[in-house]
Protein backbone atom coordinates (compact mmCIF):
# COMPACT_ATOMS: atom_id res chain seq x y z
CA UNK A 1 0.00 0.00 0.00
CA UNK A 2 2.92 2.32 0.58
CA UNK A 3 4.18 1.94 -2.99
CA UNK A 4 0.83 3.05 -4.39
CA UNK A 5 0.88 6.21 -2.33
CA UNK A 6 4.37 7.12 -3.43
CA UNK A 7 3.50 6.49 -7.10
CA UNK A 8 0.39 8.61 -6.76
CA UNK A 9 2.36 11.36 -5.03
CA UNK A 10 5.06 11.25 -7.71
CA UNK A 11 2.39 11.49 -10.42
CA UNK A 12 0.85 14.55 -8.72
CA UNK A 13 4.28 16.15 -8.42
CA UNK A 14 5.02 15.54 -12.11
CA UNK A 15 1.70 17.08 -13.08
CA UNK A 16 2.30 20.06 -10.79
CA UNK A 17 5.77 20.62 -12.26
CA UNK A 18 4.39 20.33 -15.80
CA UNK A 19 1.72 22.94 -15.09
CA UNK A 20 4.32 25.30 -13.63
CA UNK A 21 6.57 24.79 -16.66
CA UNK A 22 3.61 25.41 -18.95
CA UNK A 23 2.81 28.69 -17.19
CA UNK A 24 6.43 29.82 -17.48
CA UNK A 25 6.59 28.91 -21.17
CA UNK A 26 3.35 30.77 -21.92
CA UNK A 27 4.82 33.92 -20.35
CA UNK A 28 7.89 33.51 -22.55
CA UNK A 29 5.74 33.05 -25.66
CA UNK A 30 3.60 36.11 -24.85
CA UNK A 31 6.61 38.30 -24.00
CA UNK A 32 7.16 40.50 -27.08
CA UNK A 33 10.52 41.84 -25.88
CA UNK A 34 12.17 38.42 -26.24
CA UNK A 35 13.82 37.45 -29.54
CA UNK A 36 11.69 35.47 -31.98
CA UNK A 37 13.90 32.36 -31.95
CA UNK A 38 13.61 32.11 -28.14
CA UNK A 39 9.83 32.41 -28.35
CA UNK A 40 9.57 29.75 -31.07
CA UNK A 41 11.79 27.44 -29.03
CA UNK A 42 9.46 28.01 -26.06
CA UNK A 43 6.51 27.06 -28.29
CA UNK A 44 8.15 23.76 -29.18
CA UNK A 45 8.89 23.00 -25.52
CA UNK A 46 5.36 24.01 -24.52
CA UNK A 47 3.81 21.64 -27.05
CA UNK A 48 6.04 18.73 -26.04
CA UNK A 49 5.45 19.15 -22.30
CA UNK A 50 1.71 19.48 -22.88
CA UNK A 51 1.66 16.34 -25.01
CA UNK A 52 3.77 14.28 -22.63
CA UNK A 53 1.73 15.19 -19.58
CA UNK A 54 -1.66 15.20 -21.33
CA UNK A 55 -2.36 18.84 -20.51
CA UNK A 56 -4.22 21.03 -22.96
CA UNK A 57 -2.39 24.08 -24.28
CA UNK A 58 -3.99 27.32 -23.00
CA UNK A 59 -6.35 28.96 -25.52
CA UNK A 60 -4.57 32.31 -25.47
CA UNK A 61 -1.42 30.58 -26.73
CA UNK A 62 -2.88 27.85 -28.92
CA UNK A 63 -4.63 30.40 -31.15
CA UNK A 64 -1.26 32.03 -31.81
CA UNK A 65 0.53 28.83 -32.89
CA UNK A 66 0.39 27.32 -36.37
CA UNK A 67 -0.61 23.68 -36.02
CA UNK A 68 1.28 22.63 -39.13
CA UNK A 69 4.70 24.28 -38.84
CA UNK A 70 4.60 25.05 -35.07
CA UNK A 71 5.61 28.69 -35.47
CA UNK A 72 4.24 31.75 -33.69
CA UNK A 73 1.64 33.61 -35.73
CA UNK A 74 2.53 37.30 -35.56
CA UNK A 75 -0.13 39.57 -37.01
CA UNK A 76 1.78 41.63 -39.58
CA UNK A 77 4.85 39.44 -39.83
CA UNK A 78 3.95 35.90 -40.83
CA UNK A 79 0.17 35.57 -40.67
CA UNK A 80 -2.95 37.03 -42.22
CA UNK A 81 -6.17 37.39 -40.24
CA UNK A 82 -9.55 37.83 -41.91
CA UNK A 83 -13.02 37.85 -40.43
CA UNK A 84 -15.73 36.43 -42.65
CA UNK A 85 -19.32 35.82 -41.52
CA UNK A 86 -18.36 36.00 -37.85
CA UNK A 87 -15.55 33.49 -38.22
CA UNK A 88 -11.86 34.32 -37.70
CA UNK A 89 -9.71 32.91 -40.51
CA UNK A 90 -5.98 32.81 -39.76
CA UNK A 91 -3.54 31.99 -42.57
CA UNK A 92 0.09 31.15 -41.84
CA UNK A 93 2.21 32.76 -44.52
CA UNK A 94 5.10 30.40 -43.78
CA UNK A 95 3.37 27.11 -44.66
CA UNK A 96 0.11 28.47 -46.16
CA UNK A 97 -2.12 26.53 -43.76
CA UNK A 98 -5.53 28.00 -42.98
CA UNK A 99 -7.17 27.81 -39.58
CA UNK A 100 -10.75 28.77 -38.86
CA UNK A 101 -11.52 29.83 -35.30
CA UNK A 102 -15.07 30.24 -34.07
CA UNK A 103 -18.13 28.76 -35.68
CA UNK A 104 -19.50 31.81 -37.41
CA UNK A 105 -23.23 32.38 -37.68
CA UNK A 106 -25.40 29.37 -37.03
CA UNK A 107 -27.64 29.48 -40.11
CA UNK A 108 -28.17 25.75 -39.97
CA UNK A 109 -29.66 25.96 -36.49
CA UNK A 110 -32.62 28.07 -37.54
CA UNK A 111 -35.97 26.33 -37.69
CA UNK A 112 -37.07 25.81 -41.29
CA UNK A 113 -40.78 25.53 -42.01
CA UNK A 114 -41.80 23.46 -44.97
How much is the pLDDT for 8? Answer: 82
Long-range contacts of the stretch 38-44 (C-beta < 8 A, 24+): 39/72, 40/70, 40/71, 40/72, 43/70, 43/71, 43/72, 44/70
**Model pLDDT, residue 103:** 79
pTM of the model: 0.77
**pLDDT tens sequence for the chain (114 residues):** 566 677 788 888 999 999 999 999 999 999 999 999 999 999 999 999 999 999 999 988 998 999 999 999 988 889 999 998 888 999 999 999 999 988 777 766 555 554
| Separation in Å, CA 73 to CA 3, 61, 64, 77, 114 | 46, 10, 5, 8, 46
> Where are the chain's structural domains?
1-65, 73-114
Burial class (CB in 10 A: 0-12, 13-18, 19+), 69: middle
Amino acid sequence: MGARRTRSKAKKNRLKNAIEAQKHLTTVVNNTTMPLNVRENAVRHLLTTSRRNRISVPKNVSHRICKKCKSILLVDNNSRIRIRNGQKIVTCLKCKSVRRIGGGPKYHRSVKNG
